[in-house]
Every structure is written in structure tokens, then in C-alpha cells.
Amino acid sequence: MKVSLIVAMERNGVIGRDGGLPWHLSADLKRFKQLTMGHHIIMGRKTFESIGRLLPGRTSVIVTRQQEYVASGAVIAHSLSDALAAAEGDDEVFIIGGAEIYRQAINSIDRIYLTDVAANVSGDARFPEFDRSDWSIVEQSAHPADDRNDHPHTFTVLERIR
């Protein structure tokens, strides 16, 4: 099973503000859906609650310390390792946030689907520092801002150098 992480991040590492995204990028949302459809998506409880619903066509695995937490239709896990075990059998599983889950996962994942957002926005959630020399770029494409995308952005796929 390939363990992948998918994230949109601005140049200073901001990934969120007030429980949501600090930008609107239609192309990023479309890419997210295309990549994750049919797979397990692992997220923290706060990320799930910010989305507000299960995403159709995917198996949602929610990581929470709350032993009594219930989300109808989702798999509840109490650690990242339990969440990964729940996704066993999937050829690729996606860690979709938030910041704490990314921090826990960054040293053990195989691939990063990164959207680099060319913006300077403020936020209260940041992606953890990671050493880009541990990764090779296997795919990259740049896209301008337009009427459906607030900022220029670059889609990059990084694979861990083993």
C-alpha cells in the first residue's frame, strides 16, 4: 500500500485559516477529487468537522483522541497507525490533513501531492517543515490565476528518495 499525503500550501507553509482554506482554487479541488476518488482518505477530527460531511466515493477514516467520537458512515481511528491499518488493502491511501496529522505522517509517507499556492496569506495552520532533498519531483505543472482560481499555483508530485 502506498501512503500518500495531499496538501495545498502557500509559500510560507500556511495550509489553513479559521478551520478552512484561505483561498479558492477550483483546479485544486478538482485534482483532489480525481486523485482520492475510490480510496481511503485519512484526516483528523477537526479537518472532518471543517469539511462538514463525508466526501462521496471515498472511505473516510477520522483520527481522534475522543474515545466516544461517532461520525456515521466513517471509520474512527484513535491513532495514525490504526487509521493506516483500517485502510489495508487499498493500493493508495491519502492523508488529507490537518496540520497535526501531517506532522505525524511526514516521515513515513511515500508520496506528496503538493499544490504550491503562489500567495502570501495569513493562517493559523501550517504544514510541518520537511527536507525537500529527501524527495524527487516526478511531475510538475504550473497554472495561472483565473476567474476560478484566486492565485497562480503549481501541482507537484514528490516521491521519497529511498
Q: 66-79 pLDDT, tens per residue? A: 999 999 999 999 99
Mean pLDDT, rounded, for 132-160: 97
Q: Could you tell me the pTM of the whole model?
A: 0.96
Q: What percent of the chain has pLDDT over 70?
A: 100
Q: Which three cell numbers stand for residue 125?
A: 495552520
Q: Which three cell numbers stand for residue 1?
A: 500500500
For the chain, domains (ranges, CATH) are 2-160 (3.40.430.10)
Q: Where are the beta strands (DSSP E) in the chain?
A: 2-10, 14-16, 40-44, 59-63, 75-77, 92-97, 111-117, 125-126, 135-143, 153-160
What are the contacts of 63-66 at 24+ separation with CB within 8 A?
63/101
pLDDT at 58 over 90: yes
Whether residue 61 contacts residue 83, with contact meaning beta carbons closer than 8 Å, is answered with: yes
